[in-house]
Amino acid sequence: MRRPDVVEATEAVLCRAQISLPGWVVRLIENALRRERNEIARYHLEAILNNIRIAESDARPVCQDTGLPVFRVEIGERCSLDFDLWEAIAEGVRMATGKGMLRPNVVDPLSRSNTGDNTGPGMPCLIVDHVTGESLRITAFPKGAGSENMSFLGMLNPADDPFEYILKNLAERVSNACPPVFVGIGMGGTFDQAAALAKRAIMGVPGESEEELLLLERINGLGIGPMGLGGDTTALGVRIERAFCHTASLPVAVNLQCWANRRATARVTEDGWSIE
């Protein structure tokens, strides 16, 4: 596999994710608008759909918070990489930033000095999976701070009701996460596993289990609405990922994603790369 293909594919998926939302995300917002009864909420949902159309037609980022560069990387077992994959993806991020498609967002956590190119130690953030096959799949999930800042994690008592915990915290926090949101929940495992599962939940599509649908209904029953100004549409989907945990603990992590649920995927093979 050629390094320049990985660099180019990274730049391409990161730019594409900024401009164009997946069709299923747009359809969830359109469906929400059909059901929404609150007038201010309808104004907001219409503005959001209009914004999605403008971003696509002008080829400009949907949101000025072009996020942190987060990627899921699926490495096929027969894929041969004779270069530093992280460094190649970082170069793709720097190229996308240089094209003016990304706002420079990445800073040192203490000095707050901005690197200017959206990379730095630990950033880009790669979530790596080893899969079958011979290709490399790169999915960009640019993650904005508004919804990331409102995410939360609790080491609950096993006797606690995790859904009550989630609802109470969402009621306090979700209006700052640019609702309508997607709610990714990691349940069980260790402290760090719960957070990682919540991130993976956000990277999936909304779930349709009884628990997920009931929680979605209860969140929307809060009436917080788009941008926290009231309405029927607070969340567009819920997904729960779980791991077995210690008999003494119940870790629960909730990662929020605003309506701009950006993502794009490319596949890199020995012969080159293409957007999926």
Q: Quick one: 47 or 205, whose CB is closer to other proteins?
A: 47
Neighbours of 261 (CB within 10 A): 24
Which residue reads 């293909």 in tokens?
A: 5
Q: Is residue 23 within the footprint of other proteins (CB under 8 A)? A: no
Kindly give the pairing relationship between strand 264-269 and strand 136-140: antiparallel
Q: Which is nearer to other proteins, 44 or 137 (CB)?
A: 44
Check residue 142 for interaction with other proteins (CB under 8 A): no
* x/- track of binding to other proteins for residues 210-249 (CB under 8 A): -----------xxxxxxxxxx-------------------
Among 71, 141, 152, 259, binds other proteins (CB under 8 A): 259
CB of 78 to other proteins, least distance (A): 40
Residues 6+ apart with CB under 8 A from 273: 5, 6, 8, 9, 12, 266, 267
72-111: which residues touch other proteins (CB under 8 A)? 100, 102-105
The nearest distance, CB 114 to other proteins, in angstroms, is 5
135/172 Cα distance (integer angstroms): 44
Q: Are 71 and 129 in contact (CB under 8 A)?
A: no
Identify which range of 88-96, 112-120, 241-249, 268-276 contacts other proteins by CB under 8 A. 112-120
Are the beta carbons of 216 and 243 closer than 8 angstroms?
Answer: no
Question: Torsions phi, psi of 198, nearest 5?
Answer: -65, -40
Q: Please pick, from the candidates 48, 90, 138, 187, the single residue that binds other proteins as defined by CB under 8 A.
A: 48
If DSSP states are collapsed to H, E and C, what string results for 142-199?
A: CECHHHHHCCEEEEECCCCCHHHHHHHHHHHHHHHCCCCEEEEEEEECCHHHHHHHHH
Residue type at position 11: E
CB of 110 to other proteins, least distance (A): 15
Residue closer to other proteins (CB basis): 179 or 189: 179
Q: Does 58 bind other proteins (CB under 8 A)?
A: yes
Is 22 a binder of other proteins (CB under 8 A)?
no
Among positions 148-187, residues that touch other proteins (CB under 8 A) are 149, 167-168, 171-172, 175-176, 178
CA dist 132 to 6, 30, 77, 188, Å?
19, 36, 5, 27
62 near other proteins, judged by CB under 8 A: yes
Part in contact with other proteins (CB under 8 A); list of ranges 43-51, 69-77, 151-159, 182-190: 43-51
- On whether the CB atoms of residues 96 and 142 are closer than 8 A, the answer is no
Judged by CB, which is closer to other proteins: 51, or 269?
Answer: 51
Task: Say which residues have a Cβ less than 8 Å from residue 117's Cβ, sequence separation at least 6.
Answer: 93, 94, 97, 98, 104, 106
Task: Name 221's Cβ contacts closer than 8 Å, sequence gap at least 6.
Answer: none
Asked if residue 43 binds other proteins (CB under 8 A), the reply is: yes
**Interacting residues toward other proteins by CB under 8 A:** 40, 43-44, 47-48, 50-51, 54-55, 58, 60-66, 100, 102-105, 112, 114, 116, 144-146, 149, 167-168, 171-172, 175-176, 178, 221-230, 258-260
